[in-house]
C-alpha cells in the first residue's frame, strides 16, 4: 500500500515543513508530509518504510534542483525497497493521487511491480472533440439490466472483517488504450451499475492480465479476475486504519524535534512500538514450550528463538492469511537507531578544568518512574 500523510507543524525551522495539502483536514496548511508504504492482507497490516517529502522551496534550484524528489518518485523508490527487502506482495496499491500519474504507473510496470490503483472518475484521455471520455462514461457503456439481467457486470461478494458481506458489481471497461486485453485494464466496481454512486464506485487501473485473455500467457504476473482486483484494492482501507493507530495512539505526529534525522528516528521508534503491540496482541499464541531449547510453539508451528533479525513478513506464498512475527524487524529498527546514535559529546570549554560532575539521578523513591 502506497500513500502519504501530513502532520501540521508551525514555523519554518523544522525540516521538510511547508504549506501542503492535508487530506486528513481537507485543506492546505503548514505541515510535514511523509510518504509511506504498508504491507497488508485481509487479517493484518504492517508499516514498512517512511520517507518525509521535502517541498521544492527547500532547494536552491526549486523543482529543477537535482536533489528534489516528487512524492511519486519517493513512492516508487519505497516500492522497490519493499521488493528488494523480500516482502511478498501481489500488487502495489494506491489511491487516485498516485493512480492518475501516468509516469508512476508506467515506471511500476517497467520495473516489474504490478499495480492496482484508483483513478479519478473525471480523469480524461486524449481524444478529439466529442470523442473525449472519462472513466464514468466508460462505466456506462457495459450493458446492465438489473440484478436479474446483469449483462456485462459480474457480482462480487465483499466480506468484511466484522463478518458482514455486501454484493458489488464489477466489469472490464474500455477507455482509450485501456481495455480488458490492453497493457492497462480499467476495472469498474460499484454497488449500483445503474447510478454509479460517487462514494461507492471504484475506477481501478491495473496491469494484471485478464484470465483467459491473450496477455495471460505472456504476462509475468498471474491473471487476476474481477473479484481479485476488487479484493486487492479493498485491502487498501488498512492504510487508513494504520494511520489512525500510529497517529492517534502511538504519537506519530507528536514529535518535538526539528532535524531530518531526529524526525526519522521518531518515526522508527513509533514503528517499533507498533511492532511490540502486534506481538502483545496476537490472540492465537500458545504458551511458550520450554521442553525444546531455543524454540517456542505457536499456532503455525515452532518458532525459533534465533536472535538474527529479518525484515521478511512471510517466506513464499501462504495458503491462507497468517500473522507474521514482527519481532525480528523491531530488532533491526532498534539496531539501526543504536548504530546511528551520536557520539558522546566532549565537555565544553566552560566545564573543562572545573572538575564539575553532572547531576546525579534521583532515587526511584523520589520519582514517578518505575
Which of 195, 198, 201, 139 minimizes the C-alpha distance to 172?
139
**Residue 290 is placed in which grid cell?**
520450554
pLDDT tens-place string over residues 38-86: 888 877 788 889 999 999 999 999 999 999 999 999 999 998 888 888 8
The pTM (predicted TM-score) of the whole model is 0.73
In DSSP terms, 60 is beta-bridged to: none
Residue 137 phi, psi dihedral angles, 5° rounding = -60, -40
**Residue 117 is placed in which grid cell?**
490503483
Residue in the structure block whose three cell numbers are 491495473 = 206
Cα dihedral 134/140/142/143 (nearest 10): -170
Question: Cα separation of 58 and 260, whole Å?
Answer: 13
Q: Is residue 144 within 8 Å of residue 154, measured between CB atoms?
A: no
Q: Is the pLDDT of residue 245 over 50?
A: yes
Confidence of residue 198 (pLDDT cuts 50, 70, 90): very high
pLDDT of residue 339: 53
**Residue 292 is placed in which grid cell?**
525444546
Residues 6+ apart with CB under 8 A from 259: 15
Sign of CA dihedral 66, 69, 73, 74: positive
Q: Is the pLDDT of residue 283 over 70?
A: no
Strand extents, DSSP E, the chain: 2-8, 18-22, 27-40, 45-53, 92-94, 115-118, 154-159, 165-173, 185-190, 201-206, 295-298, 301-304
Q: Is residue 43 within 8 Å of residue 28, measured between CB atoms?
A: no
By three-state DSSP, how is residue 213 classified? Answer: coil
Comparing 93 with 291, the larger pLDDT belongs to 93
**Residue 84 is placed in which grid cell?**
528488494
pLDDT of residue 289: 44
pLDDT tens-place string over residues 164-191: 899 999 999 999 889 999 999 999 999 9
pLDDT tens-place string over residues 295-349: 333 333 333 444 333 333 333 444 444 344 444 555 555 555 445 555 545 554 4
Compute the average pLDDT of residues 6-17.
90
Residues 6+ apart with CB under 8 A from 246: 47, 252, 270, 271, 274
Question: Cα separation of 245 and 258, whole Å?
Answer: 23
Percentage of the chain beyond pLDDT 70 is: 74
Amino acid at each position: 500500500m502506497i500513500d502519504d500523510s501530513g502532520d501540521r507543524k508551525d514555523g519554518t525551522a523544522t525540516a521538510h515543513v511547508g504549506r501542503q495539502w492535508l487530506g486528513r483536514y481537507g485543506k492546505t496548511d503548514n505541515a510535514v508530509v511523509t510518504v509511506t508504504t504498508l504491507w497488508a492482507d485481509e487479517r493484518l497490516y504492517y508499516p514498512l518504510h517512511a520517507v518525509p517529502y521535502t517541498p521544492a522551496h527547500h532547494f536552491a534550484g526549486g523543482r529543477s534542483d537535482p536533489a528534489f524528489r516528487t512524492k511519486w518518485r519517493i513512492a516508487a523508490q519505497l516500492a522497490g525497497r519493499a521488493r528488494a527487502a523480500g516482502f511478498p506482495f501481489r500488487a502495489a496499491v494506491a489511491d487516485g493521487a498516485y493512480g492518475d500519474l501516468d509516469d508512476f504507473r508506467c515506471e511500476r510496470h517497467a520495473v516489474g511491480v504490478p499495480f492496482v490503483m484508483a483513478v479519478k472518475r473525471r480523469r480524461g484521455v486524449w481524444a478529439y472533440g466529442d470523442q473525449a471520455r472519462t472513466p464514468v462514461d466508460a462505466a456506462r457503456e457495459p450493458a446492465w439490466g438489473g440484478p436479474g439481467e446483469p449483462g456485462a457486470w459480474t457480482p462480487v461478494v465483499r466480506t468484511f472483517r466484522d463478518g458482514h458481506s455486501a454484493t458489488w458489481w464489477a466489469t472490464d471497461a474500455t477507455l482509450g488504450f485501456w481495455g480488458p486485453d490492453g497493457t492497462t485494464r480499467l476495472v469498474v466496481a460499484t454497488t449500483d451499475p445503474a447510478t454509479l454512486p460517487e462514494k461507492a464506485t471504484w475506477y481501478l487501473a491495473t496491469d494484471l492480465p485478464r484470465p483467459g485473455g491473450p496477455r495471460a500467457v505472456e504476462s509475468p504476473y498471474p491473471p487476476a479476475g474481477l473479484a481479485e482486483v476488487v479484493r486487492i484494492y479493498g485491502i487498501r482501507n488498512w492504510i487508513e486504519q494504520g494511520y489512525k493507530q500510529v497517529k492517534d495512539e502511538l504519537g506519530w505526529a507528536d514529535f518535538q524535534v526539528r532535524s531530518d534525522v531526529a524526525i526519522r528516528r521518531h518515526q522508527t521508534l513509533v514503528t517499533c512500538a507498533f511492532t511490540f503491540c502486534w506481538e502483545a496482541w496476537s490472540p492465537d499464541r500458545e504458551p511458550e514450550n520450554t521442553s525444546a531449547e531455543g524454540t517456542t510453539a505457536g499456532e503455525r508451528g515452532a518458532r525459533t528463538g534465533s536472535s538474527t533479525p529479518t525484515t521478511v513478513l512471510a517466506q513464499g506464498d501462504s495458503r491462507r492469511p497468517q500473522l507474521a512475527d514482527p519481532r525480528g524487524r523491531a530488532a533491526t529498527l532498534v539496531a539501526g537507531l543504536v548504530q546511528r546514535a551520536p557520539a558522546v559529546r566532549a565537555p565544553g570549554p566552560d566545564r573543562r578544568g572545573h572538575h564539575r560532575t553532572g547531576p546525579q539521578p534521583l532515587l526511584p523513591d523520589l520519582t514517578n518512574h518505575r
